Amino acid sequence: MTKIEAVDVVDLRFPTSLGLHGSDAMNPDPDYSAAYVILRTTDGPDGHGFAFTIGRGNEIQCQAIRALVPYVVGRSVEDICSDLGLLYRDLTHDSQFRWLGPEKGIMHMAIGAVVNAVWDLAAKRAGKPVWKLLSDFTPEQVVSLVDWRYLSDALTSDEALDLLRAGEPAKAAGVARLESAGIAAYTTTPGWLGYDDATVERLSIEAVQEGFTQIKLKVGRDLDDDRRRFAVARKAVGNDIRIAVDANQTWDVGQAIAWIDRLREFDPWWVEEPTSPDDVLGHRAIRSGISPVRVATGEHVQNRVVFKQLLQAQAIDVLQLDAARVGGVNENIAILLLAAKFGIPVCPHAGGVGLCELVQHLAMFDEVAVGGHHPDRVVEFVDHLHEHFVDPVVVRAGAYRAPSAPGFSAEIKPETLARFSFPDGPEWSTS
């Protein structure tokens, strides 16, 4: 029997604030960080996963993952990998840990990191990338991975089964399409708030040259700045390229509507995180107020219950799940199923460190087996920190190419783990 014999937790931080990469109206100086976890097995591959943070507090996130170690060490890898809902349910249903959320914040992200590491492990053992492992599951297997608590007023497991079964005949064609064309990406690289106009212009032009048909700009700190930068970007890319804007939660409801009204002339494709991610009713009001400009949110939405309500309330046009904020792959399957039921495209949040690597698998599973092909499904791409991954994303001609290596593409190179570990790695201790 193969067992999990140890769990390594690494506090990994990259000094990204130095270049103002990642700067936005809410987060002026992030140091992209990962609370990184390795499930060490007695035999065969290890499992890798992480929570993503932006610097201070990453040590708390690591501590939360360490608190889960007694649940994991000594367990049979065969048991865990033959029922991939098992550990997720055990962890989210521990009543004492649950008190610290419930199902939100640091504790939930810690569970997500461990659950994602289990998926990396299971996929490696199956010899498939996660997107393919999931796509090969039967509808019954997929439904068994979800925690259905709190969902039945919007979606029952029987409805989910029907939905997945209806998609079965098209799965093979979906895999073929994915392996030949990949899945559309958009880029946030030109739009960080800390960049000057010349940089915005240059990077916008480059994005189009690289084949992207959508870019995204950060907004929300200063309206005049936003109008000037948006004009620069619109001029640079022309009228056929979609430009989304992202306010990173800075506005109140009325303020969001008024601000977007002043950006309308530049034709924003969607407005992302116009207000608090907790504010379902606020998003609904903003959507009514800015239509036909779309409303997008999700990277800070804490769990399936809030996504359920965003969909029930018709508060969003675009659902932006995050791979590392909710309870891992399992909860994201619930979120994909909810979005499919309500007919809303899922355009995952990515960037940070490793989020592109993870979400590509979820978007590809969605494309093949859940929501099916959707013309507006685009996956965020940010060209940062991929060089640290063993199996980095490949984005060509504006599309993510389907990964073929077994696993979740989550594994960071050992030399990176050593160099950027905080506070003792050479990147931090010698500066």
Active site positions, annotated: 218, 349
Inter-residue contact 262 to 223 (CB < 8 Å)? yes
Both tokens of 202, joined, read: 């240059």
Near a copy of itself by CB under 8 A: residue from 15, 85, 101, 194: 101
Which residue lies nearer to a copy of itself by CB, 291 or 404?
Answer: 291
Please state, in angstroms and rounded to a whole number, the distance separating the CA atoms of residues 95 and 86.
Answer: 16
Residue 44: CB minimum distance to a copy of itself, A = 30
Tell me the CA distances in angstroms from 109 to 118, 194, 197, 252, one per residue in order.
Answer: 14, 28, 36, 26
Considering only residues 266-285, where is the footprint of a copy of itself by CB under 8 A? 275-282, 285
Residue that the structure tokens 């064309």 belong to = 181
Inter-residue contact 245 to 217 (CB < 8 Å)? yes
Both tokens of 140, joined, read: 């019954």
Nearest to 269 by CA among 184, 365, 196: 184
Both tokens of 335, joined, read: 């979120």
Give the full edge-to-edge strand order of the sheet including 4-13.
4-13, 33-41, 47-53
Residue 252: CB minimum distance to a copy of itself, A = 4
Please state, in angstroms and rounded to a whole number, the distance separating the CA atoms of residues 130 and 307.
Answer: 23
Inter-residue contact 171 to 334 (CB < 8 Å)? no
- x/- contact string, 206-235, with a copy of itself (CB under 8 A)? ------------------------------
Nearest to 178 by CA among 374, 397, 368: 368
Q: How many helices (H) and strands (E) does the chain have?
A: 19, 12
Which residue lies nearer to a copy of itself by CB, 69 or 231?
Answer: 69
Instruction: Answer yes or no whether residue 56 interacts with a copy of itself by CB under 8 A.
Output: yes
Which residue lies nearer to a copy of itself by CB, 98 or 177?
Answer: 98
Instruction: Answer yes or no whether residue 180 interacts with a copy of itself by CB under 8 A.
Output: no
Instruction: Answer yes or no whether residue 312 interacts with a copy of itself by CB under 8 A.
Output: yes
Please state, in angstroms and rounded to a whole number, the distance separating the CA atoms of residues 228 and 230.
Answer: 5
Considering only residues 109-148, where is the footprint of a copy of itself by CB under 8 A? 109
Which residue lies nearer to a copy of itself by CB, 102 or 211?
Answer: 102
Instruction: Answer yes or no whether residue 98 interacts with a copy of itself by CB under 8 A.
Output: yes
Instruction: Answer yes or no whether residue 54 interacts with a copy of itself by CB under 8 A.
Output: yes
Near a copy of itself by CB under 8 A: residue from 69, 255, 376, 391: 255
Residue 211: CB minimum distance to a copy of itself, A = 31
For residue 423, is the peptide bond before it cis, meaning its omega torsion is within 30 degrees of 0?
yes
How, if at all, do strands 4-13 and 33-41 pair? antiparallel
Which residue lies nearer to a copy of itself by CB, 122 or 324?
Answer: 324
Residue 22: CB minimum distance to a copy of itself, A = 11
Contact region for a copy of itself (CB under 8 A) — 162-170, 261-269, 303-311, 335-343? Answer: 303-311
Near a copy of itself by CB under 8 A: residue from 5, 8, 59, 210: 59
Considering only residues 16-35, where is the footprint of a copy of itself by CB under 8 A? 26-31
Strand (E) or helix (H) holding 245: strand 242-246
Instruction: Answer yes or no whether residue 337 interacts with a copy of itself by CB under 8 A.
Output: no
Instruction: Answer yes or no whether residue 106 interacts with a copy of itself by CB under 8 A.
Output: yes
Site size toward a copy of itself (CB under 8 A) is 61
Contact region for a copy of itself (CB under 8 A) — 187-195, 231-239, 245-253, 379-387? Answer: 245-253
Both tokens of 161, joined, read: 């089964």
Share of the chain residues as helix, strand and coil, in percent rounded to the nearest 5: 45, 15, 35
Tell me the CA distances in angstroms from 30 to 27, 115, 250, one per residue in order.
Answer: 6, 25, 16
Residue 395: CB minimum distance to a copy of itself, A = 25
Bridge partners of 10? 36
Residue 228: CB minimum distance to a copy of itself, A = 24
Near a copy of itself by CB under 8 A: residue from 6, 15, 89, 102: 102
Amino acid symbol at 383: D
Nearest to 353 by CA among 319, 307, 393, 318: 393
Which residue lies nearer to a copy of itself by CB, 35 or 183?
Answer: 35
What are the φ/ψ torsions at residue 365 (nearest 5 degrees)?
Answer: -60, -40
Instruction: Answer yes or no whether residue 3 interacts with a copy of itself by CB under 8 A.
Output: no
Which residue lies nearer to a copy of itself by CB, 28 or 74?
Answer: 28
Residue 41: CB minimum distance to a copy of itself, A = 25
Instruction: Answer yes or no whether residue 97 interacts with a copy of itself by CB under 8 A.
Output: yes
Give residues in contact with a copy of itself (CB under 8 A): 26-31, 53-57, 59-61, 63-64, 67, 94-109, 149-153, 249, 252-255, 275-282, 285, 300, 302-303, 305-306, 308-309, 312-313
